[in-house]
A and B are shown apart, each in its own frame.
Chain A
């Protein structure tokens, strides 16, 4: 048997890393796959890169892109406001408010978004006229539903109200993450329930709320493409209109995908900025900033 002093001469040099032949094989295989993928991408004429270039900045594509952006932003704003309201109702002392908010979440999460969108699109069938007045009593003003809820508004209602249900749960998790002592300290100073929420609880809940909300925005950007079922001219709808005429489906779908990816990338960057802004007083990040 060797004694420890036999190893002594080996201790002067740095220790070598273990060999990992399996990893080497994996690297070769993956590299080969990448090279082949790129080769196909450029040699298969079906991808139609010249067509992609031609349509990338087409007026109809850019117009659709704007609609997609509008839908995303407005639906998210509605979703956030509704979500905040529903979340606060869900944490209320009042059983009716809790029940109503619970039912809202149950309903909008329980039916497919596609169905909800179609529903709003056909809302005119259900309520041909919308008016202001007293239920069962006189009506003061009245509009045709089809005039009042154009398809764009139907799309926004569908996306926004559905988003509200998911957002409510995200916001609620955020509000619950702020310790009860924070509200208690604020209430003890004489702040109202609303001021406590606004100045103390919500700002601190934001650091828990923002990462999943960022996810929701990115998800919403692509979910807006569902509005083609009610014929709203978003990015995908306009893309479809073009390839319905020229039959260059693949190049045009690539055009749409490029725009979706670009926007997602921008949103991801924005998200990490926002996270930084709302991490005020967070021990871990402060530590990093000081180093």
Chain B
């Protein structure tokens, strides 16, 4: 597991600045929940971690290494694609819309990365995939295609797929927002288990219950800056800033 550090991260889309200098440290084995209104920049921040978005300035390190950049003289330069791909493979990501590969079964989805990227033998990858799918409670749906699975099942396969690469950090981008309310619980259960196993996790979420119970730190973002951060019970129970108070009043 690794620490993740955000160092003065700025990000603009054209004229619009969506991240205005984010500094944050995620310690090893910590679960950090990013909350805030839509458009606050929390998803963008998460996508900067594995370089799906390129920061305008500032850097993010995972385990002490920068993800998208190399030092070039006295400034940063975007790293080569090959290097970025290599560093990305250590970071698992789970998306709001699952994004399981539609032409592969659940098991094939989980075997795909290990076989092609980690050069695992097919047999080992299969055993590994079966173990992971068992862990997320889907032993009986391994040969189903994503279109035959419910949203909650698909998201659990997506988590198993991310774990198949043996990541040092897991990123969750609103993992339960696209689910029917009754399916949210099964995904949160898997995430709870993962947190208890000591995975370093950064979770963008609207599930305040999860943030309170599993989060080591809750970060409230608004308008591209971190407004407030700290112990979940403190931030959620006794918010100090007006903006945090009015947001929580609406969602709790």
Interface set of A (CB-CB < 8 Å, partner B): 179, 181-182, 184-193, 195, 199-200, 203-204, 280-283, 286
B93 and A181 contact, CB distance less than 8 A:
no
**A190: chain B residues within 8 A (beta carbon):** 85-90, 113, 117, 165
B165–A184 CB distance below 8 A: no
**Per-residue CB proximity of B135-149 to A under 8 Å, as 1/0?**
000000000011110
Report the bound CA distance from A188 to B52 in whole Å. Answer: 7
Chain B residues near A281 (CB, 8 Å)?
102-105, 145-147
A-B contact pairs, 11 of them (CB 8 A): A181-B95, A181-B97, A184-B99, A185-B93, A185-B99, A188-B88, A189-B113, A190-B89, A199-B116, A204-B102, A281-B145
Contact: A182 with B146, CB < 8 Å? no
Q: A192-B81, A199-B112 are in contact. Are A187 and B52 (CB under 8 A)?
A: yes
Distance of A200 Cα from B109 Cα, bound (Å): 10
User: How distant is A180 from chain B, measured CB to nearest CB, in Å?
Assistant: 9
Chain B residues within 8 Å of A283, by CB: 147-148
- Given A182-B101, A190-B86, A191-B117: A286 and B52 within 8 A (CB)? no
| Chain A contacts for B101, CB-based, 8 A | 182, 185-186, 200, 204
Binding site for A on B (CB under 8 A): 50, 52, 81-82, 85-91, 93, 95, 97, 99-105, 112-113, 116-117, 145-148, 158, 161-162, 165
What is the CA–CA distance of A281 and B154 in the complex, to the nearest angstrom? 13
- Decide if A286 touches B99 in the complex (CB within 8 Å): no
Q: Shortest distance in angstroms between A288's beta carbon and chain B's nearest beta carbon?
A: 13
Given known A281-B146, A281-B147, contact A188–B93 (CB-CB < 8 A): yes
| B103 touches which of A181, A191, A280 (Cβ 8 Å) | A280
| With A184-B52, A200-B101 already in contact, 9 other A-B pairs whose C-beta atoms are closer than 8 Å | A179-B99, A182-B102, A185-B100, A185-B101, A187-B88, A189-B161, A190-B86, A191-B116, A281-B102
**Inter-chain CB contacts under 8 Å: number:** 74
Contact across chains for B147 and A189 when beta carbons are under 8 A apart: no
Q: Known contacts being A182-B99, A192-B85, is A286 close to B145, with CB within 8 Å?
A: yes
Question: Cα distance A253–B165 when bound, in Å?
Answer: 63
7 pairs of A and B residues whose beta carbons are closest in the complex: A190-B89, A185-B99, A283-B147, A281-B145, A181-B99, A190-B88, A188-B93
What is the bound-complex CA distance between A181 and B146, given in angstroms?
14
Complexed CA–CA distance, A226 and B82 (Å): 47
Given the interface contacts A280-B103, A281-B102, A286-B147, does A192 sit within 8 Å of B82 by beta carbon? yes
A187 CA to B113 CA in the complex, in Å? Answer: 11
Across-interface contacts of B102 in A (CB, < 8 A): 182, 204, 281
B81 contacts which chain A residues (CB < 8 A)? Answer: 192-193
List residues of chain A with CB within 8 A of the CB of B91.
Answer: 188
> Who on chain B is nearest to A285 by CB?
B147
Q: Choose from B85, B147, B158 the contact partner of A282 (Cβ within 8 Å).
A: B147
Chain B residue at smallest Cβ distance from A204? B103
- B159 CB to closest chain A CB (Å) equals 12
A184 vs B171: C-alpha distance when bound (angstroms): 14
